[in-house]
Amino acid sequence: MAFSEFEQKKIEKALTAFLAKRRPAPHIRPKLDFGYRLSGQSVELFEIRPQWDDPTRIREQPFAKATYVKTQNAWKVFWQRADLKWHGYQPNLMVSSIEKFLKVVDADEYNCFFG
């Protein structure tokens, strides 16, 4: 089940504020930028870069994901490892809001999201 229109706007507002804070300077964005997507009950943050051997191709590499678990009224936090699989982020496996998820990603306590 997807988010309601109200919930979606609230989530988009929080994500837009987060990206405004974390995005690189405008002159760097053609080589590195960040974006997000909403899909079902999940929010995914990704890096946008040109492909290393063909700069005309733009690649999106996800690095953080949160999935809303309605029965627990919480967000489950994931990070993507080098095996390209999503793994639960053990320091903060569950958070109570999208804003807390973004704080966890921004803090990046174990350098899982931004290296």
- Helix, strand, coil share (%) of the chain residues, nearest 5: 25, 40, 35
pTM, 2 dp: 0.93
* pLDDT given at position 84: 94
Residue ranges covered by each domain of the chain = 5-107
pLDDT in tens, 4-43: 999 999 999 999 999 999 999 999 999 999 999 999 999 9
> How open is the CA angle 80-83-87, to the nearest 5 degrees?
40
| Helix extents (H) in 1-115 | 5-22, 98-107
Phi, psi for residue 32 in degrees, rounded to 5: -155, 125
pLDDT band at 1 (very low <50, low <70, confident <90, very high): low
